[in-house]
Structure formats: C-alpha cells, structure tokens
Amino acid sequence: MGRYIIRRLLQMIPVFIGTTFLIFFMVYALGDPVAAMFGDRAPDPAAAAQIRRDLNLDKPLWQQYLLYMGKIFTGDFGTSFNGRPVIELMREAWPITLRLALIAVFFEMVIGITLGVISGLRRGKAIDTAALIGTLIVISIPTFVTGYVLQYLFGVKWGIAKPTVSADATFSELLLPAIVLALVSLAYTTRLTRTSVGENARADYIRTAVAKGLPRRRITIRHLLRNSLIPVVTFLGIDIGNLMGGAIVTERIFNIQGVGYQLWQGILRQNAPTVVGFVTILVIVYLLANLLVDLLYAVLDPRIRLA
C-alpha cells in the first residue's frame, strides 16, 4: 500500500508539470499580461520594460516557469496585479468554493446513488422510466440555464431562497447554488449507479445471498451496493475537479466570491499570477482526488490489491 502510494505520487509529477506548464504557456505566452495591466492606454515603453524585468517576463518562458514553480513551493504565489498577494485571495476564496463543492457532492452521493439503486432494482417499472427520462432532461439543460431558471423561480418569484449569496456564504445561502452545481453530475451518478446495480443484481453472489435468506436491506447495502459502487466512485472522484472548475458558472450566477469568481476576474483582466496560482491548486486537488479514488477501489473490492 505504502509503496503503491509513493509510486502513484511519482507518476503524478510529469502530469503536474505538463498541466501547469500548459496553463502557464496559455496565460503568459498567448496573452500579454503587461499590456493588460495598462488597460486601454498604451503602456509607456520604459515602464513596461521595467515591469517585465521585475516580474521576470523578459526571460525565456521555461525560465519564467521554473522561477514561478520554485516560488510556489515556498508558499509564494506572487502578487496579483492589483497589489494583493495571491495567497490572500486564495484564503478567502477556497473555503467558500470548498463548502459549495462539498454540499454539491453530498447531494450527488445521497440522491444520485439512492435514485440509481431504486431504478436499477426496478428495471422497466414506472419509477425506472421516470428516472431515465428525468435524468436525460437534466443532462441536456446546460447549468447556466438551470441556474437562472431556479434562481428566478426560488429566489425571485416564490422567495424561498436568497437569489444571491453574501460575502459570508453561509450554509443556507449555498444550498440552492449547490443544487444547481450538482444537478448534471447527479443525473450522471444516477444513470451510472442504475446500470451498475442492474448488472450486478443478476450475479451469482446475489442469488446466494437471497437463498441464504438474508434480509433484503442487507443484501442491497452490503452485497449489491458495495460491488456496484466502483464505477460511481471513479466518476465522483473525477467530478470533484469538474465541480470546482464548473463553479465558475454557478458562482457567477449567484454572485459567490469563491474560486470561480476570482478566476473569472483574473482571466478577464489577464491577471496572470491569480489565474496560474488558482489553476495550479485546482490541478493538485484533481490529481489527489484521483489517487483517493484508486485507494477506495481496494476498500470496496478486496480482490483489487494495490502493489
């Protein structure tokens, strides 16, 4: 187990370097951060050159990248172009998005898996058809449409939830945005669980368990669910990264000042240190989530040995 984790961590290094370099390249080489600092005015050439020297932008790209990465590992994410240290922005934004994503994943797991198990065990019945049609419709409506429609209905028309989220981003305020964020993934989770449960319900060990006279509840939870969850766990692991990236849309609709909001501002103003810093952390979260998924495999299925 320990050796497996170390090997996986080592394998992550090239992926981490590749991904961060790609983002670094897009932000620094395709755009011109210094020109963006001056807004619409033409920058004074001497001042621009001075800024380039200060920010190491006059060096070749690979050297800039190495310098940047070196600083990151000492905890210095640089200073955003409007003068605030990026790490300070992160300290404000990450807890909010993390809370949002965790509530969303909670909905996905509880509602998605429950619905999936119910419809997988009652294949072809009314509830199964309803779940299939419902999830299909949810999948085809893009998040930004659901976001505005639910915000309009719940927040404006019926006044059940607050249409926008304050700077504190309390739990009750984040409930509606989290549902919006979770909906599409929730539908995928339901469909995956349904397929997986439907396949496993015919397996020999289920027939054995039924023949032994075990209570249905126990068969479903201990035998069926445990074996059916592997593809679902894979999906949820990959989805954590997508949820945090996808939070850009949700955070914009509900005016949440989280990671998506900061990234959005950073990209629009070509605020290069902010963008690269936030994306770097996102990539690390994504890679660690994938590792966690692989470790969970062994817990769910003892036949899988990690070595």
Say whether residue 263 binds other proteins (CB under 8 A).
yes
Residue closer to other proteins by CB (options 118, 239) is 239
Closest CA to 230 of 282, 164, 293: 293
Say whether residue 70 binds other proteins (CB under 8 A).
no
Say whether residue 203 binds other proteins (CB under 8 A).
yes
Residue closer to other proteins by CB (options 26, 66) is 26
Is 169:258 a contact under the CB 8 Å cutoff? Answer: yes
Is 67:59 a contact under the CB 8 Å cutoff? Answer: yes
**Which residue type sits at 158?**
W
Backbone angles phi, psi at 101, to 5 degrees: -65, -35
Closest CA to 31 of 272, 278, 253: 272
Stretch in the footprint of other proteins (CB under 8 A) among 81-89, 116-124, 174-182, 265-273: 265-273
Binding mask 151-190 for other proteins (x = CB under 8 A): xx---x----------------------------------
Backbone angles phi, psi at 59, to 5 degrees: -85, 165
Residue closer to other proteins by CB (options 241, 273) is 241
Stretch in the footprint of other proteins (CB under 8 A) among 19-27, 70-78, 106-114, 119-127: 19-27
Residue closer to other proteins by CB (options 131, 263) is 263
Instruction: Retrieve residue 70's tokens.
Output: 């070196």
Say whether residue 26 binds other proteins (CB under 8 A).
yes
- Least distance from other proteins to the Cβ atom of residue 46, Å: 25
Indicate which single residue of 267, 281, 300, 306 sits in contact with other proteins (rule: CB under 8 A): 267
The count of residues interacting with other proteins (CB under 8 A) is 50
Say whether residue 302 binds other proteins (CB under 8 A).
no
Say whether residue 242 binds other proteins (CB under 8 A).
yes
- Least distance from other proteins to the Cβ atom of residue 286, Å: 5
Indicate which single residue of 3, 41, 202, 303 sits in contact with other proteins (rule: CB under 8 A): 202
Give residues in contact with other proteins (CB under 8 A): 14-15, 18-19, 22-23, 26-27, 30-31, 136-137, 139-145, 148-149, 151-152, 156, 199-200, 202-204, 238, 241-242, 244-246, 248-249, 252-253, 263-264, 267-268, 270, 275, 279, 282-283, 286-287
